[in-house]
Structure 1
């Protein structure tokens, strides 16, 4: 190449570099010449324009604390300081109007300034579990703006600095929101399904099983490995969708993370599929995954043991089955308003006797049902056999619930690891052939 041409190329290159440098300098000058207030004002307009830009508004699945709570779907349509909002917090999925504001502080934030569905999660007087008394659902109504990512708006909650993403909503998100609520009973589990449930994972080479216990009020499930010596857990928050659920944190199977589960109405299972044979399923089973020997201390020849269902303390226990609650409600419905069942107390080896004491409010006399005790050592159940009533014959209003204690296949007895409202050890008594499970305090 001739020296003249080389010089020409170098001049062109130097000119290009100079032009780029000037452009960058102008851009930087423009940024740094703006005052903090001007930059915040620009950010405010950016967020306001963005909120109004989605034709059908925005959707957020808000997991306020996925260590103890599930997720709640909210839909928003913003315009000129007004917002239309709907949620699946409860069965009212109607659209409500309120106001919002974009507030300038250390950063720009979206604030829902008048009461609407989002505020249900921040009401400290409304709490799903005793552990959250005074804390509500740990929600927020002010969200700090942190920009955009692939069409999503990124916020962080004002109180806990937790990330929350708004994604563009569709018309079906609004019309199908009620289907989220229709999914709730399938997650809780129907009386027509077996009582026991499990989470089963397959990493392509190994199948693992975890027990599965779901609390509807908090939308939260605890799930522990049944393998001896394993401490692996999959405790998860659950949010409803029209076709199933999404979970947070994700369930890790192998090196994959599964979050979306589809409901199968034929089996009642919730199924998630990864790649390479990876899958997870929440499914039913006809017996406990782990059957304990906890019943053996109740056999003849042991010391006295007493267990009590106290309606005031344990009536809302999540370990009661829906079927047990239904039977209790039916029995109470036949009684005067001031004479409901207050306790069902089961005595084993009490001076050589075994009996169930049904006690009531309002001065109604207690009713006693005596029984004898045997075991099914193979199936590890405790079998109670009728030995007479204090009333001579079985009271009709107690017949249905009492029958469950005397299931011919027996009762599974389990010493639980949790407590409810007191330090007493919790024992559950579960029918081996129905969906009956009742929660009791141990009184020894």
Structure 2
């Protein structure tokens, strides 16, 4: 054989031996292919079963079903080897612990399935929904969670319905004791009737402060904050979950590249603050006046076209923009009336052919009463002031009804009223206007008729 051919064949043999050696020494490749998919799934099933039972006090998850429109709901789980699970949640005022069944099941992947009814199922009940937009869809929750592994002692799942991450962290004995405190936090986030009506979200990147008008929905546990900077369209929207000491939010609020998720409550001023490093922080706090004063009130001044604003109790008593103080005054007035003769409407007429007046309309055939007024503009504070003129029953002048005094005084307060045209709708397509006292926590929600 020619030397040239000998060298060629020698190189071929060398390469073949090298490749064979590489394959036989690659133990990771052997491990990768020495198990069937079923065997690997069974290993994961065993792994998850072991993990679920490994925490002495069970697991805690703040479940944000869809943080583009809903907040987070804290759930506590304590799993037993016999397929039973003890569960509690802060979905509503019932934070008691209940027992049900669970299973770790095999499908295309391993999943945790809560097989009989418990607190987690409240989020998937299509008959229970926080807004009309979610009618028939409930809270978009799941009771089956796909297992994706473990990280730093946490168990990672993804929800089956929307494929959102759900993280189980090891619970403590104190977590079970403190769960009812989440409901106290809920009240603090909603705000006591003694707190100011206006709130803002303020971010600080260590050098500059930005402010956003903060609005929170208790029903959805969701917040929307619009920048008040001129010309800005920036909106910070996030779901809220309650903790014993404050809130957690998702998605995180990003300030100077730092992700802020945990806010601590300060009872002294009702604020909630998330603190980063280098002076970075975000704070939700109260304001005694609107962040942005509008000229919307000018629509109702003398000489303008007729405008009718109507508070309709059946639709607007529960509106999130109707303040608790307003509800208290309505309840107080209604308490003096027969059961079938409650206030049905508070209807305010501006620049009508008969002048300006408030009509108090009742159920049960009780006749309306009318409070006539004149208006004054406070151009500096951008409020409209309603000045008392007279009361009548549609036929003759009457004394001021005593049972309406406290409610009516809020409309006639000397500091005036902020009137704002809102962008949201409630039940109907009518434009919503809010009427807010410049000196108290009175705010009533009305339709434009």
Structure 1 length normalisation: TM-score?
0.93
User: Do residues 185 (structure 1) and 191 (structure 2) align?
Assistant: no
| Structure 1 residue 251 displacement after superposition | 1.1
Cα offset for 1:171?
1.0
| 1:65 is the counterpart of 2:71 | no
Q: Offset of 1:322 from its aligned partner?
A: 1.4
Question: Which residue of the partner structure matches residue 154 of structure 1?
Answer: 156
Shift of 1:39: 2.0
Alignment equivalent of 2:371, drawn from 369, 372, 379 = 369
SS at match of 2:53: helix
Deviation at 1:32, TM superposition (A): 2.4
Map residues 170-249 of structure 1 onto 2, 5 A cutoff.
170-249=172-251
Deviation at 1:293, TM superposition (A): 0.6
Structure 2 Cα separation of the partners of residues 132 and 386 of structure 1:
44
What SS does structure 2 have at the residue aligned with 1:53?
A: coil
Alignment map for 1:335-414 (pairs within 5 Å): 335-391=337-393, 392-414=398-420
Q: Summarize the Cα distance change of 1:31–1:189 in structure 2 as closer, same or farther, 3 Å threshold.
A: same
Tell me, in whole angstroms, the C-alpha distance in 1 between the residues paired with 2:343 and 2:416: 24
Q: What is the CA–CA distance in structure 1 between the aligned matches of 2:112 and 2:171, rounded to whole Å? A: 18
Alignment of 1:9-408 (within 5 A): 24-25=26-27, 28-80=29-81, 81-391=83-393, 392-408=398-414
Query: How much does 1:394 deviate?
Result: 2.0
What is the alpha-carbon distance in structure 2 between the residues aligned to residue 33 and residue 272 of structure 1? 50
Distance 1:333 1:124 in 2: 36
- Pairwise CA distance, 1:228: 0.7
SS at match of 1:224: strand
User: How many residues were matched structurally?
Assistant: 426
1:333 shift after superposition: 2.4
- Do structure 1's residue 442 and structure 2's residue 448 form an aligned pair? yes
For 1:356 and 1:134, locate their aligned partners in 2 and report how far apart those are by CA, in whole Å: 39
Structure 1, unpaired ranges of 5+ = 1-16
TM superposition shift of 1:127:
1.3
- Structure 2's unaligned 5+ residue stretches are 1-18
What is the distance in 1 between the residues matched to 2:157 and 2:406? 53
Moved over 6 A (4+): 17-21
Give 1:401 shift.
Answer: 1.2
CA distance in 1, matches of 2:194, 2:35: 66
SS class of match (1:212) = strand
Residue 285 of structure 1 deviates from its aligned partner by: 0.8
1:121-165 deviation per Cα after TM superposition (whole angstroms, max 9, x unaligned): 111111112222221111111000011111111101111111111
TM-score by length of 2: 0.92
In structure 1, which of residues 407, 415, 433 is the aligned counterpart of residue 421 of structure 2?
415
Equivalent-residue separation in structure 1 for 2:52 and 2:29 (angstroms): 28
- Residue 11 of structure 1 is matched in structure 2 by none
CA deviations 1:322-368 (Å, max 9, x no partner) are 11122222222222222221111100000150111111122111111
324-333 or 114-123, larger mean C-alpha shift: 324-333
Q: Aligned partners of 1:122, 1:338: CA distance in 2, in Å?
A: 38
Q: Secondary structure at the match of 2:204?
A: strand
C-alpha distance in structure 1 between counterparts of 2:203 and 2:357, whole Å:
43
Whole-angstrom distance in 2 between the partners of 1:319 and 1:122? 28
Q: RMSD over aligned Cα, in angstroms?
A: 1.6
